Amino acid sequence: DAGVTQSPTHLIKTRGQQVTLRCSPKSGHDTVSWYQQALGQGPQFIFQYYEEEERQRGNFPDRFSGHQFPNYSSELNVNALLLGDSALYLCASKTWTVYGYTFGSGTRLTVV
Amino acid sequence: AQRVTQPEKLLSVFKGAPVELKCNYSYSGSPELFWYVQYSRQRLQLLLRHISRESIKGFTADLNKGETSFHLKKPFAQEEDSAMYYCAPPGGSYIPTFGRGTSLIVHP
pLDDT at B35 over 70: yes
Length of chain B as a residue count: 108
Give the mutation candidate from A101, A102, A107, A108 for the B interface (greatest B CB count, under 10 A). Answer: A101
pLDDT digits (tens, 9 = 90+) for B12-25: 999 999 999 999 88
What share of chain A in percent tops pLDDT 90?
A: 85
Residues 6+ apart with CB under 8 A from A18: A77, A78, A79, A80, A81
Confidence band, pLDDT 50/70/90 cuts, at residue B52:
low
Residues 48-87 of A with CB under 8 A from B: 48, 55-56, 58
Average pLDDT over residues B60-86: 91
Nearest CA in chain A to B3: A44
| Rounded distance between C-alpha atoms, residue B85 and residue A91, angstroms | 18
All domains of chain A in start order, with CATH: 5-111 (2.60.40.10)
Q: How many CB atoms lie within 10 A of CB A22?
A: 14
Confidence band, pLDDT 50/70/90 cuts, at residue B93:
low
Q: Find chain B residues with C-beta within 8 A of A104's C-beta.
A: 43
| Rounded distance between C-alpha atoms, residue B86 and residue B61, angstroms | 12
**pLDDT for position B70:** 86
**pLDDT for position B91:** 57
Question: Is the domain covering B3-107 a CATH 2.60.40.10 domain?
Answer: yes
**pLDDT for position B15:** 97
- ∠ CA A103-B14-B70, nearest 5°, is 45
| Contact call for B95 and A56, based on CB within 8 A | yes
3-state helix, strand, coil in chain B (%, to 5): 10, 45, 45
| Parallel, antiparallel or unpaired: strands B102-107 and B10-14 | parallel
Task: Tell how far CA A18 is from the center of its chain.
Answer: 15
pLDDT digits (tens, 9 = 90+) for A52-107: 999 989 999 999 999 999 999 999 999 999 999 999 999 999 988 777 789 999 99
Q: What is the mean pLDDT of chain B?
A: 85
Q: Is residue B15 within 8 Å of residue B21, measured between CB atoms?
A: no
Average pLDDT over residues B78-85: 97
**pLDDT for position A99:** 73
